[in-house]
Amino acid sequence: MNPGSDLETQVMELIIHAGAARSDAMEALRAARNRQWPQAEALLAEASAAARLAHRIQTRLIGEDQGQGKIPVNLIMVHAQDHLMNAMLARELVDEIIALHRDIDALQRRENHDDTL
């Protein structure tokens, strides 16, 4: 197998998994906005799993490079790293925003309960 081809495959897999992680995180946020808590949690778990797969690929590539420039840095590699970092940030921010949605939901429920008394 052509070593460059294997690298290209790994980079594309990193992009695919990172993209899935970001997409799942955003879907989780939409579910939370609609108070679909179990679905939001399931999607967050899927986002985390996809991010872990992408991160493993990144870690493997870093190990293969050994800080010596053995792996060529090209536009697609930079694109892959960008996807991963965006996915990781999205996952963290979505987690916090979902917590805020839960707090808002609890306050609204408490307010509605107080209004019925």
Which residues are marked as active site?
79
- 7, 4, 12, 9: which is closest to 80 by C-alpha? 12
Q: Which residues are annotated as a binding site?
A: 82
On whether the CB atoms of residues 43 and 25 are closer than 8 A, the answer is: yes
Q: How many Å apart are CA 77 and CA 57, to the nearest integer?
A: 12
Q: Which amino acid is it at 50?
A: A
Extract the annotated binding site for Mg(2+).
82
Q: Which residues contact 31 (CB under 8 A, 6 or more apart)?
A: 37, 39, 40, 43
DSSP code of 100? H
